[in-house]
């Protein structure tokens, strides 16, 4: 039994060593900041920087473990998907920020897996309220989208 456990551990260790040679997940490029939204509330921007910018901007802080596979692969995937969904460093016409307040209110952002490793991303209830209010003031809210004020 111990012999099997020993070989499994050696095999697992070997796989981890080989995984370090896969280049994906270690291109820690932070593209230039092209444009940022005109934040209505500087406190909301500060909270967004703490809790959101690592995945939703070109200003990612890359932790040491982002250089170690397979964590590097997961982190790179999350950042690629986050920047594709909403990137506050490439703001322009057609950028959609109106859903951001809703995702924060629902508790789906920041993800628990991120907040677990980044204590600065764990927002208090008061900070969440401030962030949501600032996001709604800056981007509007999805529920008001399409309202024109006309009752035709």
Every domain of the chain and the residues it spans: 32-142
In this predicted model, what pLDDT tens digit does every residue of 85-144 receive, in sequence order?
A: 999 999 887 777 888 889 998 988 988 888 888 999 999 999 999 999 999 998 876 554
Per-residue confidence band for 25, with pLDDT thresholds at 50, 70 and 90: low
pLDDT of residue 4: 83
| Residue with the larger pLDDT of the pair 19 and 95 | 95
pTM over 0.85: no
Tokens describing residue 52: 């959101």
Would you call 35 helix, strand, or coil by DSSP? strand
If one counts every other C-beta atom within 10 angstroms of the C-beta of residue 92, the result is: 9
pLDDT of residue 8: 81
């Amino acid at each position: 039994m111990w012999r099997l456990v020993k070989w499994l551990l050696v095999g697992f260790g070997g796989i981890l060593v080989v995984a370090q040679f896969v280049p994906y997940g270690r291109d820690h490029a932070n593209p230039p900041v092209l444009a940022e939204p005109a934040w209505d509330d500087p406190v909301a921007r500060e909270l967004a920087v703490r809790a959101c910018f690592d995945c939703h901007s070109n200003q990612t802080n890359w932790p040491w473990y982002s250089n170690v596979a397979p964590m590097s692969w997961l982190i790179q995937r999350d950042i690629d998907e986050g920047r594709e969904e909403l990137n506050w460093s490439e703001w322009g016409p057609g950028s959609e920020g109106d859903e951001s307040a809703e995702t924060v209110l629902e508790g789906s952002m920041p993800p628990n897996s991120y907040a677990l490793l980044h204590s600065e991303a764990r927002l208090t209830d008061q900070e969440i309220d401030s962030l949501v209010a600032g996001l709604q003031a800056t981007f509007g809210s999805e529920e008001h989208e399409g309202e024109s004020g006309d009752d035709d």
